[in-house]
Each structure stands twice: as structure tokens, then as C-alpha cells.
Structure 1
Amino acid sequence: MPLLRFDLYKGRSEAETKALLDAVHRAMLAAFKVPERDRYQIVHEHSPGTLIMEDTGLDIPRTNKFVNIQVTTRPRTREQKETFYRLVTEALQSECGIAPADVMISMVTNSDEDWSFGLGRAQFLTGEL
């Protein structure tokens, strides 16, 4: 936990997608200090007509390398979030050739009672986590 959903344009190779996911996972480990195996990532690929991500009037150029990352997580501090944003964009630029302008991140915050990792139990509430 956190759960990361990636929305990408179709066309990346499996190796490119793996590099992207690995880079973001390392950024999450550093920013949120979660365990190494705390990795929940879902990739959704879209044709150009089904993913429209403009820039809210900020004049941020987008390309076909655009990636939207939605992070569902327990509460994080402002510092952790800003560190995550910075580390993700740095890693994606240096390791994947994705410009910072092509990276959009949003956080969805929930609480411990909103998670069950399986077995019909809320592990944060039962003390298993």
C-alpha cells in the first residue's frame, strides 16, 4: 500500500513499461518509507482518443510519452508528497526519457479501515500490519 494506477498511451514496450514502474516504485520507497514488497501497481493503456490530459491552462506541453499516476494511500505529509513528485519526475526523466511535463500525479487519501489485503480482513485494523 499505496495502490498506484498508471494511465499511459498505448505503444510502450514491455521493457519500457517495466522501467517506468520500477522507477516509480523506487521513488515511492524513498519518499514514503514503505517496505520493498509494498508494491501494488496497475497499468491502463489508452489509445490517443481515450486519454485526454490537458494542462489546466498552465502551458505544459504534453507528448505521447505522457503518464498519469494516481496514488491511493493512507495520509502522507506534504513533505512526503512533494518529495515523491520530485523523485518520480527525476527518475522518469533520467531512466525512461519522460519529460517532467509529461508526468501528472494525483493523490487519493483514505484511512486504515479502507484497506483489506485479502482473507476478508482489514489488516491495518486487526494489527497484522
Structure 2
Amino acid sequence: MPLVRIDLSAARPPAVRRAIADGVHRALVDAIGIPAGDRFQIVTPHGPEELVFDPDYLDVARQDVVYIQITLVAGRSRDLKLDLYRRITANLTDAGVRPEDVFVTLTENDLDNWSVGNGRAQLVEQGAVAGAQVEP
């Protein structure tokens, strides 16, 4: 179960914002097997003064960064994560985002770090999540 935060320019129209959110979710489904209905995203548009980035850090020529922060249960392999980054970038390119402007971070935690309603730890009760190799 991932929680996805997407921060981007308010200049991007709502339809493009939705296409970006859809592209990130599709990559999560395709790359690491997240169920299609397991979608929790926060999309926040920002004014130009609120998105600060180095335009050429690590020799990447950035112009209009889309920040994607994904919090998910630990247990995916490096190869799955690398495939996820590639798929997110490809999907966002289809939505009109330059590959250089796709900035992704993953934050991993354990099953007991999630409660998705009713004050219960559903992932602990379930014992596993899609694509992860974790012990309950």
C-alpha cells in the first residue's frame, strides 16, 4: 500500500496533473504489483517560488520539476525499484513531462506503520503486501 505525494507547478493544467497522477499509479501497478484499487495520492500544485531545485545537479538539466514521494512497505528488490523509476518516467513523458524533470524518492517502512481507517493496522492483520518480501 503506497501513499504518493506529487508536488508540481500550478501552471500545469488539471488534466495534466491527473495524467501525471495516473501515470505514477500505473507504474506502481505494473512495476511492483500494487493492486489497481490501492490508490492513495495527494497532488499539490505550487507557485514558482515554492518549488526550489538546482537546475543541473548531477548533470541533469531540470526546468519544471515534478516531485514524487512514495511511502511504501519495505521489501522490494533494487531491480523492482529501478524498474519503477523507469516506468514512472516513461508514463510522465507520455503526459508531457520532460524526463529530466521527474524526481522520485521512496521512503520505506514496516507493516505496523500503517493504519488505513478504523484505528486498525490492516496490513499487520493481512500479513503481507503486493510485491514485498516482508515478514509480519
Task: Return the TM-score normalized by structure 2.
Answer: 0.87
- Could you list the runs of 5+ residues in structure 2 that have no partner in the other structure? 129-136
Q: What displacement does 1:59 show?
A: 2.3
For 2:63, the aligned partner's letter is T
The equivalent of 1:117 in structure 2 is: 116
Counterparts in 2 of 1:69-80, with a 5 A limit? 69-75=68-74, 76-80=76-80
What's the CA shift for 1:127? 2.8
Aligned length: 127
CA distance in 1, matches of 2:124, 2:55: 39
Deviations along 1:98-121, whole A, 9 cap, x unmatched?
111000000000000000010110
In the TM superposition, structure 1's runs of 4+ consecutive aligned residues that sit over 4 Å from their partners are none
Instruction: Tell me, yes or no, if structure 1 residue 38 matches structure 2 residue 41.
Output: no
TM-score by length of 1: 0.91
Letter in 1 for 2:66: V
SS across alignment from 2:31: helix
Q: Give 1:128 shift.
A: 7.8
Contact 2:89–2:99 at 8 Å: present in 1 too? yes
Distance 1:18 1:26, change over 3 A: same
Instruction: Structure 1: give runs of 5+ residues left out of the alignment.
Output: none
**Residues 5, 43 of structure 2: 8 Å contact kept:** yes
CA distance in 1, matches of 2:38, 2:20: 17
Determine the structure 2 residue equivalent to 1:100: 99
2-side partners of 1:40 and 1:128: how far apart? 20
Give 1:25's aligned residue. Answer: 25
Which residue number corresponds to residue 126 of structure 1?
Answer: 125
User: Which amino acid letter does the alignment assign opposite residue 109 of structure 1?
Assistant: E
Q: Is the 8 A contact 2:68 2:105 kept in 1?
A: yes
The residue type equivalent to 2:95 in the other structure is C
Number of the residue aligned with 1:4: 4
**Partner Cα distance (2:67, 2:44) in 1:** 10
Partners of 2:55 and 2:63 within 8 A in 1: no
